Amino acid sequence: MALRQPDEPSRRPVMLGIAGDSGAGKTTLTRGLVRALGTSRSTSICLDDYHRYDRAERRRLRYTPLQPACNYMDIIEQHLGLLASGSPVLKPVYDHATGRLTRPEFVVPRDFVMVEGLLSLHTPPSRACFDVSVFIEPPESDRRDWKIRRDTTERGYERTQVLSELTRREDDAEEFIRPQRHESDIVISLGHIEGRDDPVDTPLSATILLRPTIDHPNFAEILDSVPTRAMHVKQVHDGDRGLVEALHVHGYASTEESSLVAKAIWDRLHVREPPPHGLGLLDNGEVNEPLRLAQLILLYHLVGSTGLR
Amino acid sequence: MALRQPDEPSRRPVMLGIAGDSGAGKTTLTRGLVRALGTSRSTSICLDDYHRYDRAERRRLRYTPLQPACNYMDIIEQHLGLLASGSPVLKPVYDHATGRLTRPEFVVPRDFVMVEGLLSLHTPPSRACFDVSVFIEPPESDRRDWKIRRDTTERGYERTQVLSELTRREDDAEEFIRPQRHESDIVISLGHIEGRDDPVDTPLSATILLRPTIDHPNFAEILDSVPTRAMHVKQVHDGDRGLVEALHVHGYASTEESSLVAKAIWDRLHVREPPPHGLGLLDNGEVNEPLRLAQLILLYHLVGSTGLR
């Protein structure tokens, strides 16, 4: 939410902070943004790399990676501050496949820096580095399914291990992860609609909460101008913040109508750059229109922020 | 040589920069300083850890570690600046035993931070971080012997490899290492007296060049007040800087006379802290009086600098 002054040097990157629990879809969301912007002008980093302890040490010390004490929070703040001011950092590297900390890597900030992590929005100095901040919050049942699938296929865990880990982490998730929801400009809930008995292959829907901490495109106006039945704007209760606007995109939105909405959003940016391609890609290779629009809204803010520099 | 202002917060550490070629004795010198000050109030780091390439990569790319391009010079400057302002850093780690880059370590600056490296004094931003800077320059024949002994016993090299490496590095030593001699407050030459045919077990002598870039104790006065035949002050030519004072300490200096000189130096600090113990220790376990006095002079400057904060 940090404001940029027009006289700041233009080499400062636009910073996006993405927080959410393990398996929530942070990497999937981020990957699409980097794909759309291109690696020549965007960089993403994952704050899992700032684990203070490796997997064996965490087990011995009974830490979960969700605990701030299990991460170099001060180095995260330091590195985010350096990246936000355009300086490179030597970022630590945590290897999820082996659970070990390994050789660090040199990261040069490009025009856009995407920062995703369990605790990206945990401390005020970190939050101050972001132009746009996002919390991802899928329905808990979806997150569990996704975490089980990923951890058993990519990270060498047994299904029972992941299940007991989910239980073990619950208190920490409540204490450290979920409070970050309140610190974000945008909350994205992508998943199956809760309380319904939809078939398993029903496409994921999204609710995108648009807090007035940053300037959003006027979705009421956009959806008036574009014929769509799969999207609507609603007012939702946002804790003590009162009513806040949310965009709901149903999973059955067609590519055609989502393209029209995407174009209408992008037109409001008044930039020469065409609307980005390659969005909405899920890990299973399918394209999901609600994810596509969520990513497009983030790109609207990222590309829009460059004009403020 | 950076000046401290009296109103700066006292948690800023006093920084010592030590530069010199491979095998010159940087680690031996530094180890004694940390031993004397204690690890609760001193930290040392070695800039070899900032190698950009590991041993195999350097071989392939035909780099020597003496080349700035082979090291993260920008990260060195960044980390020295952070340490100098009292901030911790996540320092990379190069494992000399395996020649590989590995898990970084968290370094918190204590009251005193000793920084030793091939290129510690190479760039102005690095030099600006140091309160006191030292260049170590033993006679080349001693340095070669020491490097061969260490690299074959501790770093897994063959003798012939070390010899060819010494030849391969000569141009880089001349281009990058030796020019740092001119950037230091103190130049320490510890070794066998050149041009003499002393027996191998003759204790090492030292010449300690004391440039007027920092305030040294008055050695002419000290040596007048203490009866010693093993030490003397001389004026030596220091390039275009003209004549500069140097303290020569002969290897046969006795513990008694060097203790008296040490006490006389320390008394000039006017601090409650007693003169430090445990100095002068060589890697072979022997105590060398010239090294002891060289270390004591550095401690004089380090402890003296805390009063300026």
Closest A-chain CA to B71: A106
Residues A257, A225: Cα–Cα separation, whole Å: 12
For B206-255, write each residue's pLDDT tens digit: 999 999 999 999 999 999 998 888 999 999 999 888 999 999 999 999 99
% of chain B surpassing 70 pLDDT: 96
Report whether pLDDT(B2) > 70.
no
pLDDT > 70? residue A3: no
Provide the number of CB pairs (under 8 Å) joining chain A to chain B: 45
3-state SS, residue A107: strand
Question: Residue A236 above 80 pLDDT?
Answer: yes
Q: Which residue of A has its CA nearest to B103?
A: A102
Please check the confidence at residue A54 and state whether its pLDDT lies above 50.
yes
CB contact under 8 Å between B52 and A87, yes or no, is no
CB contact under 8 Å between B101 and A100, yes or no, is: no
- Residue B5 predicted with pLDDT over 60: no
CA distance B203 to chain A (A): 42
Distance CA(A72)–CA(A88), nearest Å, equals 18
Beta carbons within 8 Å of B288's beta carbon, 6+ residues apart: B190, B203, B204, B251, B280, B281, B282
Could you report the per-residue pLDDT of B168-204, keeping only the tens digit for each?
999 999 999 999 999 999 999 999 988 787 787 889 9
Pick the closest to residue A297 from A251, A255, A250, A246 (CA basis): A246
pLDDT of A308:
56
Structure tokens at B181: 């001699």
Full-model pTM: 0.92
**For range B149-169, the mean pLDDT:** 93
Q: Which of residues 49-68 of B touch A (CB under 8 A)?
A: 52, 54
Nearest CA to B135 out of B179, B75, B170, B73 is that of B179
- pLDDT band with cut points at 50, 70 and 90 for residue B9: very low
The pLDDT tens digits of the residues spanning B267-284 come to 999 998 888 988 999 999
Specify whether the CB–CB gap between B221 and B245 falls below 8 A. no
pLDDT(A8) > 50: no
Ranking A140-144, B114-118, B128-132 by mean pLDDT, the lowest is: A140-144
- Residue B200 confidence (pLDDT): 76
Residue-level pLDDT at A110: 96
Q: Kindly state the tokens that stand for B42.
A: 């001193």
Give pLDDT, residue A11. 76
Q: Is the dihedral of CA A190, A194, A196, A197 positive or negative?
A: positive
The side-by-side arrangement of strands in the sheet containing A205-210 is: A42-46, A112-117, A14-20, A132-136, A186-191, A205-210, A243-249, A231-237
Rounded to the nearest integer, the mean pLDDT of chain B is 93
Question: Per residue in B26-46, pLDDT tens?
Answer: 999 999 999 999 999 999 999
Q: Which of B54, B72, B103 sits opposite A101 (nearest CB)?
A: B103
* Residue A231 near residue A253 (C-beta atoms within 8 A): yes
Nearest to B72 among A82, A100, A106 (CB): A106
Per-residue model confidence (pLDDT) at position B198: 79
The distance of A102 to chain B (nearest Cα, Å) reads: 5
Most B CBs within 10 Å: which of A49, A90, A102, A105, as the mutation test of the B interface? A90
pLDDT of residue B15 exceeding 60: yes
Mean pLDDT of all residues belonging to chain A: 93
DSSP A222-245: HHHHS--SSEEEEEEE-GGG-EEE
pLDDT at B308 over 90: no
Q: End-to-end distance of chain A based on CA atoms, in angstroms? A: 14
CB contact under 8 A, B106 and A82: no
Residue A74 to residue B82, Cβ atoms within 8 A: no
Question: Residues A259-271: pLDDT tens digits?
Answer: 999 999 999 999 9
Q: How far is A284 from chain B (nearest CA, A)?
A: 33
**How many degrees, rounded to 5, is the angle at CA B247 between CA B246 and CA B251?**
135
Give the mean model confidence (pLDDT) for residues A89-93: 98
Token pair 């500069």 in the structure block, residue: B244
Which positions in chain A touch B103 (Cβ < 8 Å)?
A: 54, 92, 100-103
B6 pLDDT band, cuts 50/70/90, is very low
ipTM of model: 0.89
Q: Find all residues with CB under 8 Å of B227, minimum gap 6, and list them.
A: B257, B260
| Higher-confidence position of A1 and A62 | A62
Question: For B100, which residue in chain A has the nearest alpha carbon?
Answer: A103
Alpha-carbon distance B155 to nearest alpha carbon in chain A (angstroms): 19
User: Residue B10 pLDDT more than 60?
Assistant: no
Give the β-pairing of A112-117 and A42-46: parallel
Distance spanning both ends of chain B, measured CA to CA = 14
CB atoms within 10 A of CB A110: 19
Beta strands B205-210 and B186-191 are: antiparallel
Averaged pLDDT, B134-157:
94
| Window 73-132 of A, Cβ < 8 Å to B | 74-75, 78, 82, 87-90, 92, 100-104, 106
Beta carbons of B22 and B119 less than 8 angstroms apart: no
Which residue did the predictor score with more confidence, A194 or A258? Answer: A258
Give the residue from B17, B53, B50, B47 showing the smallest Cα distance to B33: B17
Residue type, A295: Q
**Which of B 15-54 lie inside 8 A of A, CB atoms?**
52, 54
3-state secondary structure of A77: helix
Local confidence band at A9 (pLDDT 50, 70, 90 cut-offs)? very low
The mean pLDDT of B152-174, rounded to a whole number, is 94
Does B193 or A101 have the greater pLDDT score?
A101
CA distance A147 to chain B (A): 27
Residue A280 has pLDDT above 90, yes or no: yes
3-class secondary structure, A88 = coil
Q: Which amino acid is at A287?
A: V
Instruction: Please tell me the predicted confidence (pLDDT) of residue B176.
Output: 98
- pLDDT at residue B8 in the model: 45
